[in-house]
Structure 1
Amino acid sequence: MARPLFYRHMIPFAILAVLHIFAIAQDDRSNGNLEERDALDALKVSFSDPFLNSNWTGFPCNTSTTDPPKWYGIQCVNGRVTSILLEDMKLSGNINDDVLLRFSELSILSFKNNSIWGNLMNFSNNQQMKHIDLSGNMFYGPISPTLLNLNLLETMLLQDNGLTGQIPEFKQSGLKEFNVSNNNLVGVIPSTPTLQAFGSDSYSGNPGLYGLPPQNSFFYSSIFFTTNNDAEKSNAVKRTSNNLQTLFLVSSVVLLLAVILLSILYSKKARKLKRMTKENVIFKKIEDEDDKIEAGEKGAIVGEERGGLVLLQAEAKFEMGDLLKASAEALGEGIFGMSYKAKLNNGPAIVVKRLKDLKPLTGEEFSKQLHLIADLKHPNLLFLLAYYNTKDEKLLLYKYAEKGNLFFRIHGGRGGDRIPFKWSSRLSVARGVGRALEYLHLNTKSQIIVPHGNLKSTNVVLDENDKILVSDYGLSSLIALPVAAQRMVVYKSPEYQYAKKVSKQSDVWSYGCLLLELLTGKVSAYTAPVGVNGVDICSWVNRAVREEWTAEIIDPEICVHRSASPGMLRLLQIAMMCTERSPEKRPEMTNVVREVENLSIVESDDGDEDDVSLDKSLTDDSVSTSASGIIGD
C-alpha cells in the first residue's frame, strides 16, 4: 500500500510542475509579444501613416493559430512576429537602425518601394532572417556588416537607394538573390564565390564601383564551386569545356541566321551605310552633292551659311568639308539628342549635338534663336561655335571640354585611383556657375523666359585649364513643351509641379540643387543621367536639418577639413535658400553670387586633416535658424 500512496502524493506535484513550466513559457511568450509590439509601435510612430495608425492597435499576433493576423503586413507563428511586409505603401520616415533587434524570430522583411530613410538596420539579433527587400527607398550610409552573420539568408535586395561605402564580403552559400544596383557604392566588388556568382546587373548604377563580374556568371561559378578532389576538378573542367563548345556552336548558328536576315531586310540601307563608313562622316543627311561642294569651299566667314553650316564665333576655323572628313566618336545621348566627338584633321576636337524633338520652327525662327544664344559672351559660358541647319538635320557644334563634366568629377572613380575633389575646387565651381547664370539672367532677351532651363552637373564642363564652363543654355525655347516638361530640370521645380509655371527663379532652384550636389557628393534624382538613380537631395537635406543629423550632409571627401567648415555651412545655407519651395522666397542670382563670392577659400585645404569630425557649426541647429536670413534684398 506504500507505493500507491506515494504516487498519489506525487501526482499533484507533477501536475503543478508542468503547469509552472507552461506558465513560464507563456510569460516568456507574452514578454516577447510585448517587446515586439513596442518595436512595431516605434515603427508606426516613425511612419505616421494614417492607415497603419488605425490598423496597428492591440496585439499584433493572435494566440490562436487558426485566426488571421490582426495587423496589416504582419505575419506571426506561435505568437511571435516572423514576417513584416509593407510594400508599395508610400511610407516615409526615418527609422532607427536598432528597430529590428527585438524580432528574434523574424525571417522575412520587405519595405519595397517606399520613401524610408536612415542607416540600414542592425540585423545582429535576426538569425532566422531569410528574405530582405529594402529596394526603392532612400537608405543611406554603409551596408550593415551584421548582414554577414545571417547564415540562412537567401534574398537581399538593396537596389535603388543611396547606400555608400564598399560591399562587404558576403559568403553565404544559400544567397540566391542579391542586388545593390543604383546606389553610391564604391571600390572593388569582393571576389567571394557568393558575390561573383551574380551578374553585372546586380551591381550596375554605382559610378564608383568596379570589378563587375560577367553578365553570365554560370561558368565562373561552376569553376569556383568545384571540390578539392583532383578527379572531380578535371571532370568539372571537361564539362565546362563541353558546355562552352556547345554554346559557341549554337551562338554561331544563331548569329549566322541573324546576319542573313538582316542582310535581306536592310539590303537597301547597307549601301548607304557602307558609303558613310568609308567617308567616316558624322552627318547622316546631306541631301545633294551641290551642298557638299559648296560646303567644301574655302573662305567661310562668321554668320554666312555654307551648305547648311553657319559659323557663329571667330575661333571656329573649320568648314563643312573638314567635318565631312572628321573621325567621330559617340559620347552619349542627352535630352536634345545624340552627341559626338569629332576630331578635325590637324585641328581641335568638336562636340556635335544632333537635335531631336524640336518645336515646328521655320528656318528663320531656328536661326534667330541660335544667333541670340551665340551673342551671349561670358568667360564661364561654353560658346556655341556653329550650327548646321537643313530640312532633315539640325546640329549644334561646341568646343570639346578636355577634362569632362562636373558629374564625373564629383562622383566618378570613388574608391579607386581618384584625385580628391577639394573644397577649394568645389567653391570655384560654385562661383563660376553662379557668375554664368547671373550673366544669363541679366543679359538674355525678354522672350527667353528661362535663360538656362537645364542646369545640372552634366552640363557643367571643365576645359584643359580646369576652367568652369556652363553649356546647353538657352535651348528651352527650341524643344517641344511636352518633351521639355518631361526631361528638362526647371520643369522638375516645385512651382511647375503645382502651378505649371517656370521662370528665372526656376533656374535659381536648379543652381541650389547643384550646390547641394557639390556639398553632399550625392547623385541628385532631378538630374541623374539615364541609368543612374539618385536621391531627392533637397528633401534629404531639409530632413537632415530638421532631425539634427546635419553631420551626415557634407561629403566625407571634404568634411575632413575643419578650417573650411564655416564656408561649407555658409554655402549650405545659400543652397537651402535657393531651393525654397516658393519661388518668391528665393533670392535673385545677383545676390546669390555676391554671397558666394564672399566665401573665402581656406589656404590650409590640403593638410588640415587631423580631425575628421566637422566643426560644431555644421552639427547644431544654426543651419535652420540662420538660413532664412542669409541673403539680403
Structure 2
Amino acid sequence: MTMERKKPRRLAVAAALVALVLAAQGFVTCGAGETQSLIKFRGSLSNATALSNWGGSADSPCTAAGSNWTGVWCNNGSVWQLRLDGMGLGGGLDLDSLAELPSLRMLSIKGNSFEGPMPEVRKLPALKSVTMSSNRFSGPIPDDMFDGMRALKMVYLEGNMFTGPMPKSLAQLPRLVNLNLAGNQIGGKIPDFPQMELQMVNLADNQFEGKIPRGLSNMNASYFAGNKDLCGKPLPPCKSSRKLLFIAIGVGVALSVLLIVGVVLYRKKSNIHEAHPVKVQRGFGAYDAGLTDAQINHQQPQMKKRGGDHQGKLVFVRSDRGRFELQDLLRASAEVLGSGSFGSSYKAALLDGPAVVVRRFRQMNKLGKEGFYEHMRRLGSLSHPNLLPLVAFFYRKEEKLLISDFVENGSLASHLHANRSAGQPGLDWPTRLKIVKGVAKGLEYLYKELPVLSLPHGHLKSSNVLLDRNFTPLLTDYGLVPVINKDHAQQFMVAFKSPEFSRSDRTTKKTDVWSLGILILEIITGKFPANYLKQGKGANADLATWVNSVVREEWTGEVFDKDMRGTKSGEGEMLKLLKIGMCCCEWDVERRWSLREAMERIEELRERDSDEEYSSYGSEGDLYSSRAMTE
C-alpha cells in the first residue's frame, strides 16, 4: 500500500480519537435528536410552565458545563437524568419520546398531578431509577410492566392509588436495591425477592395478606405496617388454623371458669366493700376503641396490684391542685374511658376531690428517669386557657401514669362524629369557629413556650381536643414526642403521618401546622380523616384529597358539614376558613403557611359575612388552584 493511500486512513483514525477525547471531556453537546425528543415530550404535558426554558435561546439541553434546562441533568454531553419533581405537571407521559434519549438513566416525576394507569416504563429498558411517587396513578400494574429492565435498581411508586397484585416482573428485577410501594391499595400474596443486594422493600399501608416471604424477613417491620392480614418475620408469626382452634377452645374454657367464679363470688357477696362499679363511657375520644367488660375487670385490679407493690408516689407539677396519693386513685370509683394507641384511660372519682383522668403509658421509655421528670415538670409549668393542664405523674420503668382534670363535655371528635339522638343538633358555625380559634391559640402558645421542640404538639387531632361546658377547646396529649418511644411515635402519632415524613422521614416546625390544617378541614366538613386509623406513614391524603377534588371540580355547598347550623350568614367566612385549612396542609413545606400567617388569617374570621371584599383570599378559581395536601 502506498503512502498516499495510508494518509487518509490515518487522518480518519486521528479524527475519531479527537472526537472520543472531546466527548470524554464533555465538549460534545447532545445532538438535535435529543433536543427534539425533549421538546416533543414537553408537548405531551399539561401545566408545563415550569419547563418554559426548554428550547428558546438554548439550542441544546447539554453544554460543556452541564445543562440549563429545568430538570435536565447531563453527563458526557447527553441527557442522563430527568428530575421533574413537584412542578404541578399533568397530562400524558410520552415515553416514546424519552426512549430516543440513549443515555437516560433516571426518571423522577414525584409530587405532580399525573393520573391514569401506570406508564409503560418498559419502553425505557436502560433506566436505573424510576420515581413516580405521590401522583394519582391508579388501577392494576400489568404483570409484565418491568420485563427487560435488567439495569433497574430503584423503584419508588408510593403514595398513588394502584390496585391489584404486585407484578411478578417487579419482584424479579435482577439488580433491584430499593422498592417503595407504600400507601397504595395493592394486595394479594407478596412474591419472593431473590436479589442478594436488596436493601429496602416498603409495602406499608396496602392490602397484602399471608406470610411474608423469606427474602424479606430481615426487613424493618415498619415496611409491612398497615397490612392487617400479613404475618411472619419480622411481624408476629403466622398461626395455623389448628392453633387458632386450640386458642378458641382455651379462651372458651377460661371464660367459663371466670363466669363460674364470678357467680360464686357474687352469691357470697364477699369483699363487696373493695369492689368498685366500672362502666365504659362511650363517646369520649371518638377515635379510641372502648374496652369490653372482661378487659375492664382484668385491667383495674392489675393496676392496683402494681401500684401497691411499688409503693411509689405521685409527683405533682402544679401548686393549684389538691394533693392525693396513688392509693387514693386505686381506691377511687373508676370508669374506663377508652383504650388508644398509647394505653388505657380511666376516670377516677376521688372521695374528697374532683374527678381526674388517669392515663397509662407503656411506650414511654425514650428518656431516663431524670430526663422524664424534667420534661414532665416543664409540661406542668404550662398554663393557657386552651391547654388541659398536667396535674401529676407517676413513674415506673415499665409504665407511666399521667393525671389531668376530667372534662365533662368530652372530645371534639365525639361531637363531630358520634351518633346523636334524634333531634340533637350538631355544632353550629359560631361554635366551630370558636373551637378553631381556641385550638390555634393553644398551638401558638406551645410554639412559644416549647421553642426547642420541632413538634410542640405532635399529636394534634380532634380526639385530643376536649371541650368544656362552654365549648372552649382544651388541647391534650401535647409535648409528648420527646418521651414516646421513637418506633411507636412514628407508627401512631399524627405528626408522623405528614407528607414530609412520608416523603423523607423528617418533620419540621411546619408539621404541626399541617395537623392544624387537617383538623380545620375536619371541623368544617364534618368528615372523619379515616387514614388516621392506619399505622405508619402515608395517612395524609384521604380527607385533604377529597376536599381538593370537590373544590377543583365545581364549587358547591357540599363541602360543608350538613349538620352545621347557622351557615347562611357565614358562608363567605367559612370559605375563608376552608382556604386557611388548605394552605396549612399544603404538601410542599416551603409553600405551606407558617403558624403566624395562619393565626393572623384565623383571627380575622367572623361569625357573619361582612360587606367587604375578601380579595386577599383570592377568587374561587384562585382558591382551588392550590396544590394542597397530597404528597
Query: Which segments of 5 or more consecutive residues in structure 1 lack a partner in the other structure?
Result: 1-45, 55-70, 74-88, 94-110, 115-135, 138-159, 161-250, 265-273, 292-306, 605-616, 629-633
Against the structure 1 CA distance between its residues 319 and 566, is the aligned structure 2 distance closer, same or farther, given a 3 Å change threshold? Answer: same
Q: Which of residues 117, 123, 148 is equivalent to 1:49?
A: 117
In 1, Cα distance between equivalents of 2:458 and 2:417: 23
What is the CA-CA distance between 1:621 and the residue it aligns to? Answer: 2.3
Tell me the equivalent position of 1:602: 608
What is the CA-CA distance between 1:378 and the residue it aligns to? Answer: 0.8
In 2, Cα distance between equivalents of 1:113 and 1:275: 58
Q: Which amino acid aligns with 1:464?
A: R
What is the CA-CA distance between 1:585 and the residue it aligns to? Answer: 1.8
Q: Which amino acid aligns with 1:561?
A: T
Q: Does 1:488 align with 2:556?
A: no
Q: Which of residues 508, 512, 521 is equivalent to 2:517?
A: 512
Against the structure 1 CA distance between its residues 626 and 288, is the aligned structure 2 distance closer, same or farther, given a 3 Å change threshold? Answer: closer
SS in 1 for 2:455: coil
Against the structure 1 CA distance between its residues 494 and 479, is the aligned structure 2 distance closer, same or farther, given a 3 Å change threshold? Answer: same
Tell me the equivalent position of 1:372: 378
Q: Does 1:436 align with 2:442?
A: yes
Tell me if the contact between 1:489 and 1:526 (Cα under 8 Å) persists in the aligned partners: no
Against the structure 1 CA distance between its residues 574 and 308, is the aligned structure 2 distance closer, same or farther, given a 3 Å change threshold? Answer: same
In 1, Cα distance between equivalents of 2:416 and 2:506: 31
Tell me if the contact between 1:90 and 1:113 (Cα under 8 Å) persists in the aligned partners: no
Q: Which of residues 451, 468, 472 is equivalent to 1:463?
A: 468
Tell me the equivalent position of 2:407: 401
What is the CA-CA distance between 1:564 and the residue it aligns to? Answer: 0.6
Q: Does 1:557 align with 2:578?
A: no
Which is greater in Rg?
Answer: 1
Tell me the equivalent position of 2:332: 326
What is the CA-CA distance between 1:368 and the residue it aligns to? Answer: 0.6
SS in 1 for 2:557: helix
Tell me the equivalent position of 1:499: 504
- Per-residue CA deviations over 1:420-471 (Å, capped at 9, x if unaligned) read 210000000100000000111111141x221000000000001233221000
SS in 1 for 2:414: helix
Q: Which of residues 592, 596, 599 is equivalent to 1:593?
A: 599
Tell me if the contact between 1:285 and 1:393 (Cα under 8 Å) persists in the aligned partners: no
Q: Does 1:567 align with 2:573?
A: yes
In 2, Cα distance between equivalents of 1:276 and 1:393: 28
Tell me the equivalent position of 2:135: none
Matches within 5 A, 1:113-192: none
Tell me if the contact between 1:505 and 1:583 (Cα under 8 Å) persists in the aligned partners: yes
Matches within 5 A, 1:15-30: none
Tell me if the contact between 1:380 and 1:433 (Cα under 8 Å) persists in the aligned partners: yes
Q: Which amino acid aligns with 1:411?
A: H
What is the CA-CA distance between 1:541 and the residue it aligns to? Answer: 1.3
What is the CA-CA distance between 1:347 and the residue it aligns to? Answer: 2.0
Tell me the equivalent position of 1:476: 481
Tell me the equivalent position of 2:624: 624
Tell me if the contact between 1:522 and 1:535 (Cα under 8 Å) persists in the aligned partners: no
Q: Does 1:383 align with 2:389?
A: yes
SS in 2 for 1:556: coil
What is the CA-CA distance between 1:494 and the residue it aligns to? Answer: 0.4
SS in 2 for 1:432: helix
Q: Does 1:285 align with 2:303?
A: no
Against the structure 1 CA distance between its residues 390 and 585, is the aligned structure 2 distance closer, same or farther, given a 3 Å change threshold? Answer: same
What is the CA-CA distance between 1:395 and the residue it aligns to? Answer: 0.2
- Per-residue CA deviations over 1:323-357 (Å, capped at 9, x if unaligned) read 13211111112232111111111421111010111
Tell me the equivalent position of 2:367: 361
Tell me if the contact between 2:497 and 2:540 (Cα under 8 Å) persists in the aligned partners: no
Tell me if the contact between 1:352 and 1:398 (Cα under 8 Å) persists in the aligned partners: yes
What is the CA-CA distance between 1:601 and the residue it aligns to? Answer: 1.2
In 2, Cα distance between equivalents of 1:583 and 1:284: 48
- Per-residue CA deviations over 1:81-130 (Å, capped at 9, x if unaligned) read xxxxxxxx99859xxxxxxxxxxxxxxxxx9999xxxxxxxxxxxxxxxx
Tell me if the contact between 2:499 and 2:540 (Cα under 8 Å) persists in the aligned partners: no
Against the structure 1 CA distance between its residues 416 and 92, is the aligned structure 2 distance closer, same or farther, given a 3 Å change threshold? Answer: farther
In 2, Cα distance between equivalents of 1:439 and 1:335: 26
Tell me if the contact between 1:326 and 1:345 (Cα under 8 Å) persists in the aligned partners: yes
SS in 2 for 1:366: helix
Against the structure 1 CA distance between its residues 529 and 458, is the aligned structure 2 distance closer, same or farther, given a 3 Å change threshold? Answer: farther
Tell me if the contact between 2:458 and 2:478 (Cα under 8 Å) persists in the aligned partners: yes
Which structure dedicates a bigger proportion of its chain to helix? 1
Tell me the equivalent position of 2:170: none
In 2, Cα distance between equivalents of 1:541 and 1:258: 47
In 2, Cα distance between equivalents of 1:113 and 1:366: 46
Tell me if the contact between 2:366 and 2:484 (Cα under 8 Å) persists in the aligned partners: no
Query: Which segments of 5 or more consecutive residues in structure 2 lack a partner in the other structure?
Result: 1-113, 123-138, 142-157, 167-184, 187-205, 207-247, 262-270, 277-299, 611-616
In 2, Cα distance between equivalents of 1:346 and 1:113: 61
In 2, Cα distance between equivalents of 1:52 and 1:414: 50
Q: Does 1:524 align with 2:508?
A: no
Q: Which moved more, 1:572-581 or 1:358-367?
A: 358-367
Q: Which amino acid aligns with 1:596?
A: I
Tell me if the contact between 1:405 and 1:458 (Cα under 8 Å) persists in the aligned partners: yes
Q: Which of residues 542, 551, 567 is equivalent to 1:545?
A: 551
What is the CA-CA distance between 1:492 and the residue it aligns to? Answer: 0.5
Tell me the equivalent position of 1:106: none
Tell me if the contact between 1:456 and 1:527 (Cα under 8 Å) persists in the aligned partners: no
Q: Which of residues 417, 429, 433 is equivalent to 1:427?
A: 433
Tell me if the contact between 2:117 and 2:140 (Cα under 8 Å) persists in the aligned partners: no
In 1, Cα distance between equivalents of 2:253 and 2:571: 63
What is the CA-CA distance between 1:371 and the residue it aligns to? Answer: 0.8
What is the CA-CA distance between 1:275 and the residue it aligns to? Answer: 11
Tell me the equivalent position of 1:195: none
In 2, Cα distance between equivalents of 1:403 and 1:562: 27
In 1, Cα distance between equivalents of 2:383 and 2:338: 27
TM-score normalized with structure 1 length = 0.51
Against the structure 1 CA distance between its residues 620 and 390, is the aligned structure 2 distance closer, same or farther, given a 3 Å change threshold? Answer: closer
What is the CA-CA distance between 1:308 and the residue it aligns to? Answer: 2.5
Tell me if the contact between 2:454 and 2:509 (Cα under 8 Å) persists in the aligned partners: yes
What is the CA-CA distance between 1:566 and the residue it aligns to? Answer: 0.7
In 1, Cα distance between equivalents of 2:564 and 2:486: 39
Tell me if the contact between 1:310 and 1:386 (Cα under 8 Å) persists in the aligned partners: yes
In 1, Cα distance between equivalents of 2:117 and 2:347: 51
In 2, Cα distance between equivalents of 1:565 and 1:393: 48
In 1, Cα distance between equivalents of 2:523 and 2:620: 21
Tell me if the contact between 2:389 and 2:404 (Cα under 8 Å) persists in the aligned partners: yes
Matches within 5 A, 1:238-253: none
SS in 2 for 1:285: helix
Against the structure 1 CA distance between its residues 559 and 262, is the aligned structure 2 distance closer, same or farther, given a 3 Å change threshold? Answer: closer
Tell me if the contact between 2:466 and 2:475 (Cα under 8 Å) persists in the aligned partners: yes
What is the CA-CA distance between 1:252 and the residue it aligns to? Answer: 13
In 2, Cα distance between equivalents of 1:376 and 1:543: 40
What is the CA-CA distance between 1:514 and the residue it aligns to? Answer: 0.1
What is the CA-CA distance between 1:312 and the residue it aligns to? Answer: 1.2
Percent identity (aligned): 35
Tell me if the contact between 1:525 and 1:535 (Cα under 8 Å) persists in the aligned partners: no
SS in 1 for 2:372: helix
Tell me the equivalent position of 1:157: none
In 2, Cα distance between equivalents of 1:310 and 1:599: 42
Q: Which amino acid aligns with 1:523?
A: F
- Per-residue CA deviations over 1:32-57 (Å, capped at 9, x if unaligned) read xxxxxxxxxxxxxx972147999xxx
What is the CA-CA distance between 1:529 and the residue it aligns to? Answer: 9.1
Tell me if the contact between 1:316 and 1:386 (Cα under 8 Å) persists in the aligned partners: no
Tell me if the contact between 1:388 and 1:395 (Cα under 8 Å) persists in the aligned partners: yes
Against the structure 1 CA distance between its residues 313 and 603, is the aligned structure 2 distance closer, same or farther, given a 3 Å change threshold? Answer: farther
In 1, Cα distance between equivalents of 2:573 and 2:423: 27
SS in 2 for 1:523: coil
In 2, Cα distance between equivalents of 1:507 and 1:90: 21
